[in-house]
Structure 1
Amino acid sequence: MSAATWTDRALSPRERAQALLGELTLAEKIAQLGSSWPGAEAAEGDVAPMQEAHLQAEPFAEAIAKGLGQITRNYGTAPVEAAAGARVLAQRQRAVVAASRFGIPAVAHEECLTGVTAWGCTVYPTPLAWGATFDPALIERMGVRIGSDLRSLGVHQGLAPVLDVVRDYRWGRVEETMGEDPHLVGTVGTAYVAGLESAGVVATLKHFAGYSASQAARNHAPVSMGPREFREVCLPPFQRALTVARSIMTAYIDRDGVPATVDSALLTDLLRDQWGFEGTVVSDYWAIPFVATMHRVVADAPAAGERAIAAGCDVELPHTSTFAGLADAVAAGRLDEATIDRSVLRVLTQKAELGLLDEGWTPDVDVDVIDLDSAANRAVARRVAEESIVLLDNDGLLPLGRDRSTIAVLGPVATEVGFLFGCYSFPNHVLVHHPDLGLGIDGVSYLDAIATAFPDAEVVSATGASIHDDGAGDLDAAVALARRADVAIVMVGDRSGMFGLGTSGEGCDVADLRLPGSQQELIDAVVASGTPTIVVVSSGRPYALGDSIDQASAVIQAFQPGQEGGRALAAVLAGDVNPSGRLPVQVPRPSAPQPSTYLAPPLARHSHGISNLDPSPRYPFGHGGSYTTFVRELLSPRSVVLDPEGSLTIEVEVRNTGAVGGADVVQLYVSHEVPSVVQPVRRLVGFMRTELEPGAAAVIAFTVPAGALAIVGSDLRRVVEPGRLTLTVASSADDPGAVVEVDLDGPGRALAPDEVPTVEAAERRLS
């Protein structure tokens, strides 16, 4: 092949990358595996352990001397107007191209967990809210919007979604996950990936793998999880989403003493050899130097870089540090240059796929104004927020009529719009260090939204409590307002931030699940006032609410619903929107032991009188109420025989028997009667959301391949075991539902390592 072959679009991306690879020197190859974070050294708010690493970064002009793999967070570092930021990125790309002998641009990446982490960009609900929608089609639409915004900015790779399965609600990053069930996380996460990738953006799955199972729910803590449970709980969402995604990010943790970023069994044996993944593996920020400074399994940063690339980590983020020593390792014979070639080929192949190796490529964005908070964006953000709100309890008070004369809106969460955002939103991630700039987007607080939704009512407010242990909040004033109101809305929860700047978010882990600050006292006092009380929890994790919650007239859970969340909640309260969210995590009782998960075996699901601690939740996984009623009828036989190579279909008719339109979420669970290894009492294997007008009905059909019922055996193989199991069509993990007994007949079978069987759900409307 000639030296110009790599620009030939008639060839495959891999062939083009192979041709270019053959022309590069060792130094140029290594440059393609590195990154630079221009502006980070001057960014405000750096916190340990990141601060020292920022200071180690080379200036951008020096970092690009032989070319560059990635440009880090052009928009997500400091406030910059979108079009101006695009011009800066184009200037930086031109500098990268000029520094490379072959004019190879860099991949530009940004965070995009709740929308693009950029000034003036729509803030969507947090991923935990995505899970609460049980609506993958809607989340895919959101992914398309976010991907389109990234492309309009000249960004090629988005660092999302988080596919960690929640194992301990005390972990600060629960808000970034989609819940505690592998099937839910895998289904909703894959939908987001499909949306992002359809816009031409590389989706990056994180954090691979086991990050959410850290000891005592501490960020970066070790993971003590057996290999069988690891394969059954943590890995399935990643394997499913990798059918669409082109990149994956390593985790900070070590599992059983091996840091994930240098785990060749994970990054090569499993990911490449068994699953067949051909995309790129990128490190989490500073995860490679942490192998030396935190895990301490190597002597220094260069040694960490050698182990990471040998294990299968292709790109070092957010700037080149440890990979700077790779050339010395090759010269000393500690590292084979072929190992570097392996990673460079993956990086260049992806650049070819993105069009970065095309002749005539330009970094310029051909617009003067880039609207990152469009009406179309906000409409999708509003829909996600509306569908994610979970009605936990209601004695009939909701929806509120608009004839209320006085509404007391109480609690610290009500008055500031920042309470609606996740920690990776631009306002809470970056603007917290620029308090004089304002939001840069159209967002309203819960209080303002409620006042707008009830224009004829007198809406009075008081904080009454604090989310911090500082004694702030006038409890007596709040109770006095409640007593003179027709209805009291108590709004409690948490504030998302980073590394101690919030009560939820990265590095904001908690020791227990009590509401932060004095908020429980506020609930207790207002409920005791005798005024009908609605408790709204707006948070990034579920909280163990006190017993007074049982005397509240209604309870609502919102998982940081984004900039449209205030309006969405007000619409639910007023009855303009019928709530349809379902819990992607349990809501525990104050006495429940932690960690806890609905995916518990019989020994741990209930106390059985052998422990004084009751693990049963106050509200179970999958639970959620409505302003209408639904009746279900199982149409399938109650007992079937299934071949381990075959599949079965379960049909259920759902009818709206109430007076208003609404959405039901039909859930399908599996229970194994006598498995060879301990299994959860129930495990979600399928679900379908259906929207029905009063009197309307639909048939939901679940097609269940036997492979979707496989378990991970003691030999670590996924196997369809013969024997009896039950499939339950239910409305939550604790709902008795309608049961189908299934006899798996035959010798059983082991699944292929790259096999990803899933339950498919379809809807047929009845006339």
Structure 2
Amino acid sequence: MAVEEKVAQLFGVWVGASREGGEVAPHQHDMEEAVDLDGLLPNGLGQLTRPFGTAPVDPAIGALSLLRTQERITRANRFAIPALAHEECLAGFATWGATAYPVPLSWGATFDPALIREMAGAIGRDMRSVGVHQGLAPVLDVVRDARWGRVEETIGEDPYLVGTIATAYIQGLESAGIVATLKHFAGYSASVAGRNLAPVAMGPRERADVILLPFEMAVRESGARSVMHAYTDTDGMPAVADEWLLTGLLRDTWGFGGTVVADYFGIAFLKTLHGMAGTWAEAAGAALVAGVDVELPTVKTFGGPLLDAIAAGQVPEALIDRALRRVLVQKAQLGLLDPDWSPVPSGLAGADLSDPEAVRGSVDLDPPANREIARRIAERAIVLLSNDGTLPLGRPGKIAIIGPNANDPLAVLGCYSFPQHVLVHHPGVPTRIGLPTLREALAAEFPGTEIVTAPGTTVDGLDTGGFPEAVELARGADVVVAALGDRAGLFGRGTSGEGCDAESTALPGVQQGLLDALIGTGTPVVTTLLAGRPYALGDAAGGSAAIVQSFFPGQEGTSAIAGVLSGRVNPSGRLPVSVPRRPGVHPSTYLSARLAQVSEVSNIDPTPAFGFGHGLSYTTFEWSDLEVADSEAGTDGELRLAFTIRNTGDREGAEIVQLYLHDPVASVVRPTQRLIGYARVPLGPGQASRVRVTVPADLASFTGREGRRIVEPGELELRLSASSTDPRLAATVTLTGPVRHVDHTRRLHAAFAVSVPGDEDA
């Protein structure tokens, strides 16, 4: 291949995006330039950016258009190499008419990797059916500050939970033949003060033990074939130019063999934002040296500037060859280099391709099976934070649904859903998916009950003029459902989402004032949050009759919430992030050392209102009969525990067993406790299960003083808990022997064996 042909495989083109279009990526308007596609194609093309996710297009028409584009690309280049098409799929395939699933923060709330794997498989099959090859998901960033706008895109604040749920998602996506993309590697979520793209002030120990752990797990266990670099810089080093990170750790140590792709315009940001490159060519060279293989979303630095730098001897052609080999290997894995490759996707098999109108409407990306998965996730993700006995509601005579999210069909969607991400730029275009409002869902759930509603205020407005009407309706009702929370958007157009960072974790606008006024009526208030981050409710947390937390639960979300309120659904969701007690206290993550918690040396109490892992049920569970089979093991051994869980209530439910490790004395400061395992245990009324847990000593490892991961001898406490703030059983155990060094091949999981109910003694 000529050098021009090699370089052409290393960038994408964003057809349909322009300076005049809607802004859906950082600095899109600054970076987009007219692309001469006819001039590019004779040399080939690496990727096509978002052929379905840029504007509303019927899926079948989009598939046919992509097919024609691929035919054009293969005819134009002498090796007949097709482009790889990528799309967003953070909460479902981000295209018009596709199922809108709950956001990743809801995935974390399920504590159910198998269900998330099932969802991802469905998403992947839909993408493949229309000719897409790569999905830009999942996000493996660990929440460090809830003010960050992209919290909704994350899975939670604990690296083990993030790693296990993300790995399951990747396995599902890859099982459908879609290249999953791990992002954002690494440290994006730890930006100073939770500001998007702000610098990261983080030491190597926090980076290794918190930020990198989910990526390490995913690389080892998921089969992921792509990684996307983070935008941010850590201690002055942007991830896009960090050779230690993208090559030394990712490839040389962990053994990753796939492609590293740029976050949108991230290479150019070395010049425009980071100030580490004086020219586009210097930016391209720095990224190539670090290990970036593909420039996305469109050609900027990897085109003419890179070719000029190669010609001038400033960038070795060997770096081009290295990246090209990875790109072509991936295309070969996808079958794109097979002699009999066909651009016709499965969704168009047998269709009359000569007539676009004949195929219109023939591809269904929101079938009943998808919606069933979305429903199960939404139901398992809802977290009942508090309840004074008001829930379930039974059959009240009159419900007042008050709040800005009471009648908004988009209140269940995150910023990377197609309606919130793209359709906002196309007013009047229908969503093509069912999005019942909370009012509609409650009316369907409570037939015969009088439903009245008022917004009270907007999500982020300051107008309190609607308060009197809201208070009057509340006083005349049997119960109030306060529908509060966020509006998803991008770059300041919402209260949650990319570029929508918050000054504090107070409810946006005057929603807190509305909630306080509703509670002041004396009518029981069920505070219902449809949000992208946790919010501190202040005194209203105690004044609410119940608090129901959902994190943008997708198109089946309002029905799931209604089911929880009626009792049709027994809530089993658990918090993937802590809920702060006061809006100005940061950070609120449970994963903190002793001095980060309440102490006598500070007047600020950062204790959360509801801790990580918390969630209530309509039944009760008893934990008993702890047996420590092995209370002592070598630093290379394992410990074994067993205990019994019994459902002592009168209805079926699921308990989430959470295993935390507390290391009272270590050679460096450690978090007070950290999650090292969990299991979902469903039980019918009166049923019991015997749960056996095997804990490898490797799970006690951490980064020691010298920067190497070690397992130290000494006393540990294993806490079997219902949440990070609710330990039920505890075992003191001891590791013996020498300090042991471990690496990326160490064991990462505790093994849970749950007996069949009724056979708990088996």
Counterpart for residue 397 of structure 1: 390
Tell me the SS of whatever aligns to 1:652.
Answer: strand
Whole-Å Cα distance in 2 between the matches of residues 684 and 426 of structure 1? 34
Q: Say whether 1:462 aligns with 2:460.
A: no
Q: Say whether 1:90 aligns with 2:67.
A: yes
Q: 2:283 aligns with which of 264, 287, 304?
A: 304
Q: 1:373 aligns with which of 345, 366, 378?
A: 366
Mapping of 1:661-740 within 5 angstroms? 661-740=652-731
Task: Report the TM-score, using the length of structure 1 for normalisation.
Answer: 0.95
Q: Say whether 1:35 aligns with 2:12.
A: yes
Larger mean Cα displacement after TM superposition, 367-376 or 151-160: 367-376
Mapping of 1:137-148 within 5 angstroms? 137-148=114-125
Whole-Å Cα distance in 2 between the matches of residues 738 and 28 of structure 1? 63
Equivalent pair of 1:588/1:617 in contact (CA under 8 Å):
yes
Q: 2:247 aligns with which of 256, 268, 274?
A: 268
Tell me the SS of whatever aligns to 2:302.
Answer: helix
Query: Shift in Å at residue 216 of structure 1?
Result: 1.1
Counterpart for residue 234 of structure 1: 211
Counterpart for residue 539 of structure 1: 531
Which amino acid is the alignment partner of residue 236 of structure 1?
Answer: L
Query: Shift in Å at residue 52 of structure 1?
Result: 3.4
Equivalent pair of 1:122/1:563 in contact (CA under 8 Å):
yes
Whole-Å Cα distance in 2 between the matches of residues 731 and 408 of structure 1? 33
Equivalent pair of 2:711/2:740 in contact (CA under 8 Å):
yes
Which amino acid is the alignment partner of residue 373 of structure 2?
Answer: V
Q: 1:49 to 1:241 in 2, by over 3 A?
A: closer
Q: Say whether 1:102 aligns with 2:79.
A: yes
Counterpart for residue 13 of structure 1: none
Q: 2:520 aligns with which of 528, 537, 540?
A: 528
Tell me the SS of whatever aligns to 2:43.
Answer: coil
Equivalent pair of 1:40/1:54 in contact (CA under 8 Å):
no
Counterpart for residue 491 of structure 2: 499
Whole-Å Cα distance in 2 between the matches of residues 472 and 261 of structure 1? 46
Which amino acid is the alignment partner of residue 335 of structure 1?
Answer: V
Residues 690-740 of structure 1: CA deviation (Å, up to 9, x unaligned): 111111122222221111220111222111111111110001111132111
Equivalent pair of 2:630/2:639 in contact (CA under 8 Å):
no
Tell me the SS of whatever aligns to 1:65.
Answer: helix
Equivalent pair of 2:398/2:478 in contact (CA under 8 Å):
yes
Tell me the SS of whatever aligns to 2:484.
Answer: strand
Query: Shift in Å at residue 57 of structure 1?
Result: 4.7
Equivalent pair of 2:625/2:643 in contact (CA under 8 Å):
yes
Q: 1:362 aligns with which of 316, 339, 342?
A: 342
Tell me the SS of whatever aligns to 1:737.
Answer: strand
Larger mean Cα displacement after TM superposition, 755-764 or 564-573: 755-764
Q: Say whether 1:130 aligns with 2:120.
A: no
Tell me the SS of whatever aligns to 2:260.
Answer: strand
Tell me the SS of whatever aligns to 1:288.
Answer: coil
Q: Say whether 1:317 aligns with 2:310.
A: no
Which amino acid is the alignment partner of residue 632 of structure 2?
Answer: V
Q: 1:699 to 1:64 in 2, by over 3 A?
A: farther
Equivalent pair of 2:629/2:640 in contact (CA under 8 Å):
no
Residues 168-216 of structure 1: CA deviation (Å, up to 9, x unaligned): 0000000000000000000001000010000010000000000000011
Which amino acid is the alignment partner of residue 113 of structure 1?
Answer: L
Whole-Å Cα distance in 2 between the matches of residues 25 and 160 of structure 1? 33
Query: Shift in Å at residue 47 of structure 1?
Result: 6.6
Which amino acid is the alignment partner of residue 515 of structure 1?
Answer: L
Residues 464-506 of structure 1: CA deviation (Å, up to 9, x unaligned): 1221233165111111111111111111101000001100000
Q: Say whether 1:347 aligns with 2:327.
A: yes
Which amino acid is the alignment partner of residue 91 of structure 2?
Answer: T
Tell me the SS of whatever aligns to 2:682.
Answer: strand
Whole-Å Cα distance in 2 between the matches of residues 375 and 468 of structure 1? 35
Query: Shift in Å at residue 335 of structure 1?
Result: 2.0
Whole-Å Cα distance in 1 between the matches of residues 625 and 408 of structure 2? 46
Counterpart for residue 748 of structure 2: 757
Tell me the SS of whatever aligns to 2:723.
Answer: coil
Tell me the SS of whatever aligns to 1:287.
Answer: coil
Whole-Å Cα distance in 2 between the matches of residues 385 and 238 of structure 1? 26
Residues 98-136 of structure 1: CA deviation (Å, up to 9, x unaligned): 122110111100000010000000000000000000001
Q: 1:280 aligns with which of 259, 284, 289?
A: 259
Query: Shift in Å at residue 591 of structure 1?
Result: 5.7
Equivalent pair of 2:401/2:482 in contact (CA under 8 Å):
yes
Which amino acid is the alignment partner of residue 735 of structure 1?
Answer: D
Whole-Å Cα distance in 2 between the matches of residues 48 and 646 of structure 1? 49
Tell me the SS of whatever aligns to 2:135.
Answer: strand
Counterpart for residue 235 of structure 2: 256
Equivalent pair of 2:20/2:29 in contact (CA under 8 Å):
no
Whole-Å Cα distance in 1 between the matches of residues 311 and 624 of structure 2? 71
Equivalent pair of 2:410/2:435 in contact (CA under 8 Å):
no
Percent of paired sites with the same residue: 52
Task: Report the TM-score, using the length of structure 2 for normalisation.
Answer: 0.96
Q: 1:759 to 1:308 in 2, by over 3 A?
A: same
Whole-Å Cα distance in 1 between the matches of residues 53 and 609 of structure 2? 39
Counterpart for residue 162 of structure 1: 139
Q: 1:70 to 1:48 in 2, by over 3 A?
A: closer
Tell me the SS of whatever aligns to 1:645.
Answer: coil
Tell me the SS of whatever aligns to 1:534.
Answer: strand
Equivalent pair of 1:592/1:613 in contact (CA under 8 Å):
no
Query: Shift in Å at residue 55 of structure 1?
Result: 2.9
Q: Say whether 1:336 aligns with 2:319.
A: no
Equivalent pair of 1:276/1:754 in contact (CA under 8 Å):
no
Q: 1:32 to 1:756 in 2, by over 3 A?
A: farther
Q: 1:80 to 1:71 in 2, by over 3 A?
A: same
Q: Say whether 1:171 aligns with 2:148.
A: yes
Counterpart for residue 419 of structure 2: 427
Query: Shift in Å at residue 766 of structure 1?
Result: 3.2
Q: 1:627 aligns with which of 611, 618, 629?
A: 618
Q: Say whether 1:387 aligns with 2:380.
A: yes
Which amino acid is the alignment partner of residue 142 of structure 1?
Answer: M
Whole-Å Cα distance in 1 between the matches of residues 631 and 119 of structure 2? 39
Q: Say whether 1:188 aligns with 2:179.
A: no
Equivalent pair of 1:686/1:702 in contact (CA under 8 Å):
no
Counterpart for residue 553 of structure 2: 561
Query: Shift in Å at residue 761 of structure 1?
Result: 2.4
Counterpart for residue 466 of structure 2: 474
Tell me the SS of whatever aligns to 1:323.
Answer: coil
Q: 1:43 to 1:558 in 2, by over 3 A?
A: farther
Whole-Å Cα distance in 2 between the matches of residues 440 and 560 of structure 1? 18
Query: Shift in Å at residue 43 of structure 1?
Result: 6.2
Counterpart for residue 352 of structure 2: none
5+ long unaligned stretches in structure 1: 1-23
Alignment RMSD:
1.4
Whole-Å Cα distance in 1 between the matches of residues 227 and 333 of structure 2? 16
Q: 1:494 to 1:591 in 2, by over 3 A?
A: closer
Whole-Å Cα distance in 2 between the matches of residues 592 and 37 of structure 1? 41
Query: Shift in Å at residue 754 of structure 1?
Result: 4.3
Which amino acid is the alignment partner of residue 343 of structure 1?
Answer: A
Whole-Å Cα distance in 2 between the matches of residues 740 and 74 of structure 1? 55
Whole-Å Cα distance in 2 between the matches of residues 705 and 639 of structure 1? 11
5+ long unaligned stretches in structure 2: 350-358
